[in-house]
Amino acid sequence: MTDGIPMSAPDISEEDVRAVAEVVRSGQLALGPKTEAFERAIAEYVGVEHAVAVNSGTAALHLIVGALGIGPGDEVLVPSFTFAASVNVVLYERATPVFVEIESDTYNLDPEDLARKATPRTKAILAVDVFGHPADWDAILNVAEEHGLRVIDDSCEALGAEYRGRKLGQFGDAATFAFYPNKQMTTGEGGMIVTDDDGLAGQCRSLRNQGRGEMGSWLEHERLGYNYRMTEMSAALGLSQMGRIEELLAKRGSRGGDVHRAAVGPGRGGAAGGAGACAGELSSTW
C-alpha cells in the first residue's frame, strides 16, 4: 500500500484566513465590495469584459444556458466524457443533450463527430476543457459558425489554461470557472461566468439575484430568477487566492503533472500538467 499522492488539496494561507475573518467582522456578508473586486480580478486575469460571481460552477453553467434561451426542443452538443453538471444544466432547462465522441488523447470533444451530430434542432455546443486541457477551440468555433450555434465553454477545471496564447474564458459566447476545493483556486463553493457580451452578463447578474433588475429596487423582479449569489466570505477568499494564482498553479503543476500524464497522456501540443507545461500553442492547468 502506498500513501497516494494528494492530487488537489486546497492551499490556504494565513493571509486567506485573515481576508475571510475581516469580512465576517465587517458584517457585510453578501452582495458587497469583495464580490465586485473578485469579479474584476477574474475578468482582468482572463482578459474579458465581464465576470459574474455565483455560488457554484453548476450555477454558472445553468445561468448561461438559461440566458441563451435554450429550452424544450433544443439540442445541445455535449462531450460524452465530463462531470455530470455539464449535462445536468441542459436537462434543467428541458433541452436535449446530444452526446459527442471524445478524442482518445485529450478526452475532449472530437470536432469531427461534433460536426456529424449537428442537426437543424441544435442550438448550442457546450464544450469542456477536461482536466484543465484546452479543447480544440478553432475546430469547435468553425463548426459553430457553419451551423449558427451558440457556444458555452465549461472551463470549470481549467482556470489559467491557454489556447494559442489566449486564456480559456475568451472562447464562445460565455465560459465558466468553478472554485470547489479541488480546483486551481478555491472559494469553498463558488463559480464564475465570464463573457464579453454585455447583454448576457446583465441577464446572468439578474438571474443569480432572484431575477431582480440591476438598477431596480429590491422588490422589482424582471424575470424568473434564482438565489445563486456568492457570499462575501467566499469572494474574499477567492480574491486573496487570486493574488497568488501563479504560485498556486505552479505548485499544483508540479504535483499534478505526473498524475495527469498518467491519466490522459501527453495530449495535443505536448505534455499536459501544470501551468504552462504544454509545449507549442496550448498550456494546461491542473
Ligand X SMILES: Cc1ncc(COP(=O)(O)O)c(C=O)c1O
Per CB under 6 A, residues contacting ligand X are 56-58, 82-83, 85-86, 128, 154, 156-157, 178, 180, 191
- Tracing cell 498556486 back to the chain, one arrives at 248
Return the number of the residue (118 or 230) whose C-beta is nearest ligand X. Answer: 230
CB of 58 to ligand X, least distance (A): 3
Of the pair 54, 200, the CB lying nearest ligand X is at 54
Distance CA 167, CA 164 (A): 8
Looking at this protein, which amino acid is placed at residue 174? A
Residue 112 — φ and ψ, nearest 5°? -65, -45
Q: How far is the CB of 20 from ligand X (least distance, A)?
A: 18
The least distance separating ligand X from the CB of residue 89, rounded to whole angstroms, comes to 8
Based on DSSP, count helices (H) and strands (E) in the chain, helices before strands: 9, 10
Residue with the closest Cβ to ligand X? 57
* Min separation Cβ 106 and ligand X, Å: 14
Q: CA distances (Å), 92 to each of 62, 78, 260, in order?
A: 8, 14, 31
Distance of alpha carbon 51 from alpha carbon 1, whole angstroms? 45
- Tell me whether residue 12 or residue 22 sits nearer to ligand X (CB atom): 12
Instruction: Give yes or no for a contact between 109 and 135, defined as CB atoms under 8 angstroms apart.
Output: yes
Closer of 19 and 168 to ligand X (Cβ): 168
